[in-house]
């Protein structure tokens, strides 16, 4: 196991590490929205992470990775052992990660959807309340 602390966003070394990896492990205790998990999914990696912030919205337990409790080294070890000797499961989760990343985290599509929502709620005569649009 190697820990890399000197990587910058979108650097060639980071892309190379994703390409060489079989599994991405992110046992965070304080990440609100793990962009790094989305990147690993886009690289086609199964993700083992914790149920912190929005990570459980990215990683579907048993589908494209595994969710473990934060600060639980034993659960993390069990999750790693589940995948370590199961290349078929790794491949299935890797493919699911890539599909989920393409479907949910495509910046061009998502930015367009957010922009359209902002335009729709800024039109005269519309008021935004409790996640619903009302015509006034």
> For the segment 37-69, what is each residue's pLDDT rounded down to a tens digit?
999 999 999 999 999 998 999 999 999 999 999
Q: What is the mean pLDDT of residues 67-80?
A: 96
pTM of model > 0.85: no
Q: Do residues 81 and 112 share a domain?
A: no
pLDDT at 135 over 50: no
User: How many other CB atoms are found less than 10 A from the CB of residue 41?
Assistant: 28
Tokens of 131: 């996640």
pLDDT score, position 19 = 93
Residue at token pair 């337990």: 61
CATH number at residue 55: 3.40.50.2000
pLDDT score, position 34 = 80
Number of domains the chain is built from: 2
Q: Do residues 100 and 76 share a domain?
A: yes
* Residues 82/99, Cβ–Cβ less than 8 Å: no
User: How many other CB atoms are found less than 10 A from the CB of residue 8?
Assistant: 7
Rounded to an integer, what distance in angstroms lies between the CA atom of residue 4 and that of residue 83? 22
Who has greater pLDDT, 129 or 86?
86
Who has greater pLDDT, 134 or 6?
6
Domain that holds residue 121: 106-136
pLDDT at 92 over 90: yes
The two beta strands, 132-135 and 126-129, are antiparallel
């Amino acid at each position: 196991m190697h820990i890399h602390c000197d990587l910058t966003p979108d650097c060639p070394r980071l892309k190379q590490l994703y390409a060489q990896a079989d599994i991405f492990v992110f046992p965070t205790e304080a990440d609100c929205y793990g962009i790094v998990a989305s990147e690993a999914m886009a690289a086609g990696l199964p993700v083992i992470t914790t149920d912190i912030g929005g990570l459980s919205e990215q990683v579907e337990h048993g589908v494209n990775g595994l969710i473990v409790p934060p600060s639980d080294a034993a659960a993390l070890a069990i999750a790693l052992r589940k995948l370590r000797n199961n290349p078929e499961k790794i491949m299935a989760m890797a493919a699911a990660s890539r599909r989920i990343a393409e479907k949910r985290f495509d910046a061009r599509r998502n930015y367009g959807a957010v922009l359209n929502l902002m335009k729709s709620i800024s039109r005269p005569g519309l008021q935004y309340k409790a996640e619903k649009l009302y015509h006034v």
